[in-house]
Amino acid sequence: MKIYLAPLEGITNYVYRKALFECFDGFDKYFIPFIRAKQNLNLSGREKKDLLPENNEGMYAVPQILTKNAEDFIQTAETLQEYGYNEVNLNLGCPSKTVVTKGRGAGFLDRPDELDKFLDEIFRKCDMKISIKTRLGMDDPEEFEDLLTIYNKYPLEELIVHARVQKDYYKNTPRLETFGEAVERAKSPVCYNGDIVTAEDCTRLQDMFPTLDCIMTGRGTLKNPALAREIRGGAPASKEEIRRFHDMMYNEYCEDLSGDRNILFRMKELWSYLAPMFTNNKKYAKKIKKAEKCVVYENAVRELFGCEQLIGEVENADMEKNTGSL
């Protein structure tokens, strides 16, 4: 089973990816959050840091491009090639209204004829591997039948399918029946994306689709950085690993960003996912959220790691205790 890290804008940047790779790894590919392609592309400082080879050392990283303009896609791909990348991913899955209203991301799915022409041009003119991350459609999963017919016309490196339509956003249950059409009909390799938050979720998916050999996880990994390792049969995260993971990110942000507010914005976002791993987590999540100075934040985190345990470790200890008493 191949496992990919999903690109989540503003979260899975190079700081997060480096810490995840160093502390947990387990991913075959790390997808870089989208770059907005535009004429005469000038990468921002943030985008350059995200793309620099030294910030992605040791991992197979794939940049993602967001655009509806074929020429902009090609120019951006050429720039990425100069950074040493040989594969790019086209974002046809972002459900954000600000993106969709401009006909980009999942919004492009509502214009199948334009999309077909776009794909024809980029596959003719771009000499890089191109994969696609898509939703099933804008409003109705039945749209996917025609979309898949279009995708099958081109030599995709792989087709990554988030099994929801745009209007679902991240709610509702993934539409696995429609995803099954991709497994059966797609001419390119298929990767599943959507609500893989435990190793058991992956097992159930494999039971449903025995030929499926690739998944992508995003929010599941934010909630449990050891998820990929667990899917492969490895150990759950330990508190010491989570502490090292946190410290690597925090120290990097302290060096990279100026001002407590900017640093804490990033770390609070991380804790919105990590905090539920701990016992008595609401108390410390509140302290972390209220912190306005790094020193206050550091004290709250130090107290959390010093006083609380990972819920998973407590449950495992209880199971071992009960087993031993039988």
Q: Name the residue among 67, 208, 177 with its Cα closest to residue 126.
A: 67
pTM score: 0.95
Structure tokens at 140: 């109705």
| Number of structural domains in the chain | 2
Structure tokens at 57: 């050392």
**Domain membership flag for residue 319:** no
**pLDDT reported for residue 84:** 96
**pLDDT reported for residue 129:** 98
**pLDDT reported for residue 326:** 54
Bridge partner residues of 90 (DSSP)? 65, 132
The confidence band for 41, taking pLDDT boundaries of 50, 70 and 90, is confident
The confidence band for 104, taking pLDDT boundaries of 50, 70 and 90, is very high
Q: Is the pLDDT of residue 321 over 70?
A: no
Instruction: Tell me the average pLDDT of the chain.
Output: 95
Of the chain, the percentage scoring pLDDT greater than 90 comes to 92
Structure tokens at 237: 């995260």
**pLDDT reported for residue 128:** 97
Residues 264 and 128 occupy one common structural domain: no
Dihedral through CA 67, CA 214, CA 15, CA 169, nearest 10?
Answer: 50
**Domain membership flag for residue 26:** yes
**Domain membership flag for residue 245:** yes
Q: The tokens 């009960």 sit on which residue?
A: 322
Residues 250 and 225 occupy one common structural domain: no
**pLDDT reported for residue 314:** 80
Residues 66 and 124 occupy one common structural domain: yes
Q: What is the pLDDT of residues 43-64, one digit of tens each?
A: 888 999 999 999 999 999 999 9
**Domain membership flag for residue 324:** no
Residues 138 and 252 occupy one common structural domain: no
**Domain membership flag for residue 142:** yes
The confidence band for 315, taking pLDDT boundaries of 50, 70 and 90, is confident
Residues 214 and 117 occupy one common structural domain: yes
Residues 274 and 199 occupy one common structural domain: no
Residues 208 and 275 occupy one common structural domain: no
Domain boundary among 231, 254, 286: 231
What would the mean pLDDT of 180-193 be, rounded to a whole number? Answer: 98
**pLDDT reported for residue 317:** 66
Q: Is the pLDDT of residue 325 over 60?
A: no
Helix then strand count (H, E) for the chain reads 15, 8
**Domain membership flag for residue 280:** yes
Q: Is the pLDDT of residue 107 over 60?
A: yes
**Domain membership flag for residue 325:** no
Residues 71 and 166 occupy one common structural domain: yes
The confidence band for 313, taking pLDDT boundaries of 50, 70 and 90, is confident
Residues 178 and 263 occupy one common structural domain: no
The confidence band for 322, taking pLDDT boundaries of 50, 70 and 90, is low
**pLDDT reported for residue 85:** 97
257 phi/psi in degrees, rounded to 5: -110, 155
Residues 174 and 277 occupy one common structural domain: no
Structure tokens at 23: 């502390």
Distances 286 to 12, 42, 265, 270, 291 between C-alpha atoms, Å: 23, 40, 14, 14, 9
Residues 301 and 184 occupy one common structural domain: no
Q: Say which CATH number the domain at 118 has.
A: 3.20.20.70
Distance CA 86, CA 323 (A): 51
**pLDDT reported for residue 320:** 62
**pLDDT reported for residue 279:** 97
Q: What is the pLDDT of residues 229-256, one digit of tens each?
A: 999 999 999 999 999 999 999 999 999 9
Domain boundary among 209, 231, 253: 231
Domain residues for the domain of 266 are 239-311
Domain boundary among 231, 253, 279: 231
Residues 12 and 62 occupy one common structural domain: yes
